[in-house]
Amino acid sequence: MFIPHKVLEEKLLSLLAEDIGQGDVTASAVIPSRLRAEAEAVVRTPGVIAGIEEATILAEALGLKVTAEVSDGDDVKKEQVILRLSGDARTVVTMERTMLNLLSRMSGIATATRKTMQILKKARSGTRLAATRKTALGFLYFDKKAVVIGGGDSHRLHLDDMVLIKDNHIVLAGSLETAVKKAKRNASFSKKIEVEVTKPADALKAAELGADVVMLDNFSPAQVRTAVTWFTKAGFLGKVLLEASGGISVENILEYASTGVDVISLGELTHSVKALDISLEIVKPL
């Protein structure tokens, strides 16, 4: 998910522009026009930091000097300084909230992902933790990138990068069999085909029909284990990936991971984010 800085810059500036509206009325009323300032972004609760690259691009685009004291993915402690900014004082306070919202949400996602990964690792199963498309609208790139920084897998990025046949597609296609056959015939060879199933027998059927990935939707850990066993017997294990999804949370994820399923996807990583508390402090006017 690499985007050249200049292209990201445009995206970030348009988010900032929306927040500003017709101009920051406080900065212009209260702060002298050529005053310069130094500021620090400080973490108020420990976690995993994400968004440093984006915050840096945004601040530099605005003509501020930026020193990043940490890198994306670093563990940060309470009261740790993560970024130092200096430059035009009005610019600093005007971009403050946009930069903090970016850092707080991305870091919140990275923190939850890392924490969940640490649970997963106890299963010693190599199971991947994946995000879903349940992100903040218009913010998908940043949400997905935060998951990756936290150690997770981005999963699909668009509706155009993988064939994912879900329950609704199967109903509309007529049957799982028709749906997968049509996908094999019509979709580009460059795309993987994933099929969502609701019972272990269908998992096997999907693999036999040529799915690259099978999503076990709302399976109990026991059902996942059954699917894994059947896949092992049929020789699909390692060739057709198994993804568990639905009804999984930090509480029961270890149980799922211990089944040896290849991927567990968790909507809450991005749809129910707890933002990391980060604030910006003016150190001194220059």
Cβ-based nearer residue to a second copy, 101 or 220: 101
77 makes contact with a second copy (CB under 8 A): no
Tokens of 39: 């500021």
Q: Which stretch binds a second copy (CB under 8 A): 11-19, 74-82, 200-208, 253-261?
A: 11-19
Annotated catalytic residue: which of 9, 60, 69, 217?
A: 217
Query: Could you give the angle at the alpha carbon of 43 between the alpha carbons of 42 and 48, nearest 5°?
Result: 135
Cβ-based nearer residue to a second copy, 91 or 113: 91
Q: How many residues does the chain have?
A: 286
Annotated catalytic residue: which of 44, 65, 97, 239?
A: 97
Enumerate residues 261-280 that contact a second copy by CB under 8 A. 262-263, 267-268, 271-275, 280
- Specify the residue for token string 């990025």: 157
Task: Count how many Cα atoms sit within 13 Å of the Cα of residue 188 in the half-sphere of its side chain.
Answer: 5
User: d(Cα 162, Cα 150) in Å, to the nearest integer?
Assistant: 23
DSSP letter at 214 equals E
User: d(Cα 151, Cα 145) in Å, to the nearest integer?
Assistant: 10
One DSSP character per residue, 130-186 reads: E--S-S-TT-HHHHHHHHHHTT-B----SSSSSEEE-HHHHHHHSSHHHHHHHHHHH
Specify whether 217 is catalytic.
yes
Task: Count how many Cα atoms sit within 13 Å of the Cα of residue 137 in the half-sphere of its side chain.
Answer: 0
- Secondary structure element (H or E) that encloses residue 268, with its range: helix 268-271
- CB of residue 81 to a second copy, shortest distance in Å: 15
State how far Cα 196 lies from the chain centre: 21
117 makes contact with a second copy (CB under 8 A): no
Among 171, 201, 222, 250, binds a second copy (CB under 8 A): 171
CB 285 within 8 A of CB 148: no
209 makes contact with a second copy (CB under 8 A): no
Q: Give bridge partners of residue 163 from the DSSP assignment.
A: 193
- CB of residue 117 to a second copy, shortest distance in Å: 14
Specify whether 9 is catalytic.
no
Specify whether 181 is catalytic.
no
Among 164, 204, 224, 261, binds a second copy (CB under 8 A): 164
251 makes contact with a second copy (CB under 8 A): no
Q: Which stretch binds a second copy (CB under 8 A): 73-81, 115-123, 160-168, 225-233?
A: 160-168
Specify whether 97 is catalytic.
yes
Cβ-based nearer residue to a second copy, 31 or 224: 31
Among 80, 86, 91, 259, binds a second copy (CB under 8 A): 91
Other C-beta atoms lying within 10 Å of the C-beta of residue 160: 9
Annotated catalytic residue: which of 24, 40, 194, 196?
A: 196
- CB of residue 65 to a second copy, shortest distance in Å: 14
Tokens of 100: 């903090």
User: d(Cα 42, Cα 260) in Å, to the nearest integer?
Assistant: 40
Among 47, 108, 150, 200, binds a second copy (CB under 8 A): 108
Enumerate residues 34-63 that contact a second copy by CB under 8 A. 35, 37, 39, 61-63
Which residues are known to be catalytic?
A: 97, 134, 166, 196, 217
